[in-house]
Amino acid sequence: MARLAASICLAVAAAQGAPVTFSSKELCVEGVAAPLEVEVAETQAQRNRGLMQRDSLAGDAGMLFLFDGPMAKGVGFYMYRTLIPLDVAFADPDGRIVSIMTMTPCPHEDPRRCKVYRPGRAFVSALEVNAGFFERHGVEKGDRLFDPQEGRCDLAPDDEPITGGYRGNVSPTAGPGRVDSRVTARKTGYRPATVRSGLPALRLRLYPLVVPTDTSYPGISGDPTPVQVFKTF
């Protein structure tokens, strides 16, 4: 539920007034393989209603709040008359997540007593999902929200095919390997991973690479199935 300065009266009216309807769309979250089905809150009435009085939310569903312009960093969301705990990701104009917060239902009938969750950064959109969703999928600040490409979330809009050799752990072959030959492959579903080896933790992203059946690389032992290679960023 979005709360802007001086909008408490509007929020109460939205909670008690006529039903508010929403359109829906698919939305990708970087690091999550399948798109989410999100309701879109883009009018003041829709943003004020939000996910109020919902008993549940599907695991692959959410609500996307869109604003007419950048919201000041002091603006936030609250959980007035919201029954389920939620995660919220605030995003900038490029869809980059600038803050992720977990929100709990407000027990008060007076909305002025509800906690306000402020991202501390300007934002133009926000995505609400079930609490724990972002942690479970390894989604972090800096990841992106974007529309699916041909119904899939494999590639963010500005991603390019991977080229070159990358050192890392190769699967399904046993043990570490190295792709020395030049390859080109699409990113086909990726997730965050952290590797520690006595050095400060490096954030890596794991890319499955599709290797042609007639090609073999050192460390892959001729296995034609997709392999996974760590690439630093």
Work out the mean pLDDT of the chain and round it to a whole number. Answer: 73
pLDDT of residue 84: 97
Q: What are phi and psi of 100, to 5 degrees?
A: -125, 130
pLDDT higher than threshold 70 for residue 123? yes
What distance in Å separates the CA atoms of residue 233 and residue 171, rounded to the nearest whole number? 20
pLDDT higher than threshold 60 for residue 18? yes
- Give the model confidence (pLDDT) of 52-86 as tens digits: 999 999 999 999 999 999 999 889 999 999 999 99
What distance in Å separates the CA atoms of residue 38 and residue 127, rounded to the nearest whole number? 9
Q: What is the CATH number of domain 2-146?
A: 2.60.120.1140
12-27 burial, b if ≥16 CB within 10 A, otherwise e?
A: bebbeeeebeeeeeeb
- Per-residue pLDDT band for 222 (boundaries 50, 70, 90) equals very low
What distance in Å separates the CA atoms of residue 57 and residue 87, rounded to the nearest whole number? 12
pLDDT of residue 151: 86
* Mean predicted confidence (pLDDT) in 17-38: 92
* Mean predicted confidence (pLDDT) in 20-41: 96
CATH 2.60.120.1140 location in the chain: 2-146
